[in-house]
Amino acid sequence: MDEEDYCSALKSALASKREELVIKFSTLMEHLPAKTVDIGIGIHTGQDPDGSFTVMAHLGGPDLYALNKAVEQHRTLFEVPRNALGKPPLELPFLDSFDESFEVGDVLVDEVANWLVSVCSNVDRHGFEGPIRAYGGDAYGTKSEWILKSA
């Protein structure tokens, strides 16, 4: 599979899950502790950059442990596991990153971050005014961060 085909398949699959992400993101926002200062949305690729990933919220502010513990059940916004039992949430090919002519992790993070940017405008922030940014875990992605909402 080449980069263009992978991007196309990924964009299409993510678009089909847009409403699901809006609901989960809005639910997270509804349960934010009052002391939350900012939110980082990490796009974490699997241990082998093969197409598996998790989108997880990381709250910032005083006592990070307490903040993140308070929203523990809402932190995982989206996940495509490598060895899913049953049907994974996206129909995507898993790639062998060592056999591909492109950096799977970079392409994956860029496309998921762009999806998050487009979705964030539809999320009910429940009064939260702090900044929200997305970033790729393990330095994947062609940018260091994407601004979903500035302060």
Of 109, 123, 100, the residue nearest 22 (C-alpha): 123
Specify the amino acid at residue 59.
L
CA angle 132, 27, 70 (to 5 degrees): 80
* CB 28 within 8 Å of CB 119: no
Provide the residue-wise pLDDT of the chain in tens; the chain has 151 residues.
788 988 998 899 899 889 999 999 999 999 999 999 999 999 998 776 567 889 999 999 999 999 999 999 999 999 887 655 455 556 776 676 667 788 888 889 999 999 999 998 889 888 999 999 999 988 899 999 999 988 7
* CB 26 within 8 Å of CB 39: no
Distance (Å) of CA 50 to CA 10, 16, 32, 125, 151: 13, 21, 32, 33, 34
Of 105, 118, 132, 146, the residue nearest 21 (C-alpha): 118
